[in-house]
Amino acid sequence: MSAGPASAVASRDGAKYGVGVGLARAVASRDGAKRGVGVGIARAGTWCSDPGRGSGTILAVALGLVVMILMAAVLTFAQAAAMAHRAAAAADLAALAGADAARGLTTGDPCVVAGEIAARNGASLSACTVRGGEIVEIHTESVRGMVFGTATGRSRAGPPP
C-alpha cells in the first residue's frame, strides 16, 4: 500500500491491489471497484502530470502586458506630435500677425502683437526678431499638456516676394 503523494508508478502498482494514491486515482477507482475497493474523487493538491498546463494563461497575461506597454508608448508619442503641431501653428500665426504689424497693416509693436497671438493659441513667445523692418522671426514654446519636456515652434513671415 502506498501513502501520501506517491508517484504515478507506485499508484498504478497499488491499483493492482485495489489501493490507489496520488496521480492515478481515476484509474485506481475503476480497477479497484472491480476488486471491491472504491477510491472516489481525486484528492486536491496532487500535482498534474502535464507540465504545460497553465502556460497559456501566463502567455496571455504576458501578451496583454506587452500590448498595454506598446499602447502607452504610442499614445505618448501621439501626444508629443500633437503638441509639436500646436506649437508650430502658434508660431506661424504669431509670425504672420507680427509681420502685419511690422509692415503697418495693423497697429502695435510686432513682438507684442506676436506674443498676444501666441498666448491665444496656448504657447508662449520665447524669442522675437524683426529683420529689415518687415520680416519677423518667432520662436514659441508650449508646456501645457506635455508629459516629457516642452514643444517648440519656429516661424518666419514677411512681405510677399
Residue 95: pLDDT above 90?
yes
What is the rounded average pLDDT of the residues 91-115? 93
Q: Evaluate whether 42 touches 25 at the Cβ level (below 8 Å).
A: yes
Q: What percent of the chain has pLDDT over 70?
A: 68
What is the rounded average pLDDT of the residues 126-153? 87
What is the rounded average pLDDT of the residues 72-87? 91
Give the C-alpha separation, 16 to 26, whole Å: 13
Is 65 buried (19+), middle (13-18) or exposed (0-12) by CB count in 10 A?
Answer: exposed
Give the C-alpha separation, 98 to 84, whole Å: 21
Residue 26: pLDDT above 50?
no
What is the rounded average pLDDT of the residues 94-121? 93
